[in-house]
Structure 1
Amino acid sequence: MSPDMAPDKLGQVILSVRTDQFAASLQDWLDAVCVFDNIGIIAFFQDRPPRVLYTHARTSRVFDRIDSQYVGGAYLLDPFFGLHQSQAAVGLYRLSDVAPDQFQRNEYFKSYYRNTTLTDELAFFCSPAPGVSITTCIGRDETTGSRFSAKDREIAKRIAPVVNALVRQNWGDLRSDENTAPQDVAGDLRQRLAQNTGIELSRRQSEVALLVLKGHSSISIGLTLGISPQTVKVIRKQLYKRCQISSQGELYYLIAPYLSG
């Protein structure tokens, strides 16, 4: 689409705020200024699983399992969900910049993310209300098999304030229970494992297990938890022994069913 049409497309987005046409109009405008293969808009909450607001892709594989596997619990391992958990600043984020150091080696990547065929993602990130975050993700996938160039990222960065302002205006009525504490993912996982499998993990073991599944190395886990990499290795060894497993893959398939209630 010609960039000359972008102002008209932006005008249509503004006129469609708070209507059923907003997401499609937003995609239409973004298509006039950015080059991408797919778009997904997801709302994260403090007190419940995420809500998929809009998706569109040229290949069905990108969002094929988003309602079942992703919303069902895999989102807890998504680096973009990490932005919500950390209450990140409004802006534009690239997946490879916020993902853990061993993200492409973890089982979430191998069993879920790789099957989406995504090769790169940029997320416009904003928080329209307390306890609510929205990511508007544009991606590259098997359709082109390419990644975003420095020029692509610069264009997205320039329009990010406008995208996020529009998203906040359109979905400003989304609410999360402000009286509900932020999700204690490690604590909830520990409780579900004990109830369903009889495996009793310590608090620290459950924290390390979750970080391993997200794709953190021992060094990264140590920095996150404020402990030494050697201590992480000891805890990880204890964790594997407690679970009677010997690999990260086994850990994933043991724990994944209990990530979300």
Structure 2
Amino acid sequence: MSRTIHPTALTMIARLSNSLTQLVPQIGSDDFPQLLIEVIKQLVPADEMTLILFEDKPEFLVSEKTEKIGNQSIDMYLAGAYLLDPFYRASVELKQSQFFTYGELVPDGFRQSEFYKQYLVKIGLEDECGYLIIFPGGQFLHLSIGHGVGSTARLSRSERQLLETLTPLIDMLCQQHWGDQLSKPLNRQLDQALANFGSSKLTERECAVIRMVLQGYSPASIADKLFISPGTVRVHLRNSYRKLDIGSQVDLHNLFMGALMRFEQYEGGDPLEGFF
């Protein structure tokens, strides 16, 4: 019995075939990153796509709306705010390339976090998804796909399924393009800056609480993960703020970033030591 391929599927296959015909010959060229973005845009609607390579340090390869963030926020992201990015957090444990939606990664209080307010809100993005492409040396590529607040061009379930299905193809193309170009291992030293933040002034439990607050966890979620009560979380947070001489999540985020940005090269220990 013969089967008829749905016209929509035929159209998609034709688009993908045409796009790959243009993209594959550009593997290894400077045009490849932008062309890769254009291929995905031909398959699904997107208001903003960003390509960040994490090798020795983060590098924006393609970013269509970073002017909305401003240079100061971009500098802060590259200096260490990326440590709080849910996609970066996922990369720490990831062993192979994968497609994610923000909903699969973000903590329950993420929309109240300063990272969300200072980066995603400024760009005007929400409902983001994307790929984490993991290279053999531990470096990785974050290809994000986002939509503006109030945009009608949202990804449907089938479009997200299409993107997920394409993960092996996107991974193969990226491995072929960047695989031979990456010579520096990913500098994970700043991961220890987040892990050690406040350790010279706070108890171990207080450090755990403020670290989770920085990442966007709610008090209830922190309590659940640390096996303590929400009231105890609030006590730890209040004591931490008092010891750090701050009064809000905004102050906590600014203190974290201020401590990181004073280092040309972080070499270990609490970033706050000698800061104030």
Q: Under TM normalisation by the shorter chain, which class is it?
A: 0.7 to 0.9
Shift of 1:210: 2.0
Query: 1:210 is aligned with what amino acid?
Result: R
Shift of 1:105: 1.0
Mapping of residues 59-138 of structure 1, within 5 Å: 60-61=67-68, 67-87=74-94, 89-138=96-145
Paired residue secondary structure (1:246): coil
Percent identity reads 24
Change (3 A) 1:102 1:129: same
Q: Tell me, in whole angstroms, the C-alpha distance in 2 between the residues paired with 1:64 and 1:186.
A: 23
Q: Deviations over 1:111-163 (max 9, x none)?
A: 33211101221111121123212111111125836532212211211212211
Unpaired runs of at least 5, structure 1: 195-199
Change (3 A) 1:86 1:222: farther
Unpaired runs of at least 5, structure 2: 1-10, 264-276
Q: Tell me, in whole angstroms, the C-alpha distance in 2 between the residues paired with 1:180 and 1:137.
A: 21
Q: Tell me, in whole angstroms, the C-alpha distance in 2 between the residues paired with 1:61 and 1:178.
A: 28
Query: 1:171 is aligned with what amino acid?
Result: W
Query: 1:185 is aligned with what amino acid?
Result: A
Alpha carbons 2:47, 2:146 under 8 Å: kept = yes
Q: Tell me, in whole angstroms, the C-alpha distance in 2 between the residues paired with 1:66 and 1:95.
A: 21
Q: Deviations over 1:203-252 (max 9, x none)?
A: 4333321210111012322444x432344333222212212333323322
Structure 1 vs Structure 2 CA RMSD: 2.8
Which residue of structure 1 aligns with residue 257 of structure 2? 256
Moved more, 6-15 or 215-224: 215-224
Change (3 A) 1:64 1:140: farther
Query: 1:8 is aligned with what amino acid?
Result: N
Which residue of structure 2 aligns with residue 197 of structure 1? none
Shift of 1:91: 1.4
TM-score after normalising by structure 1: 0.82
Q: Tell me, in whole angstroms, the C-alpha distance in 2 between the residues paired with 1:202 and 1:129.
A: 37
Query: 1:254 is aligned with what amino acid?
Result: L
Question: 152, 163, 166: which one pairs with 2:159?
Answer: 152
Answer yes or no: is 1:229 the counterpart of 2:229. Answer: yes
Please tell me whether Structure 1 or Structure 2 has the larger radius of gyration of its CA atoms. Answer: 2
Query: 1:218 is aligned with what amino acid?
Result: P
Question: 41, 52, 59: which one pairs with 1:51?
Answer: 59
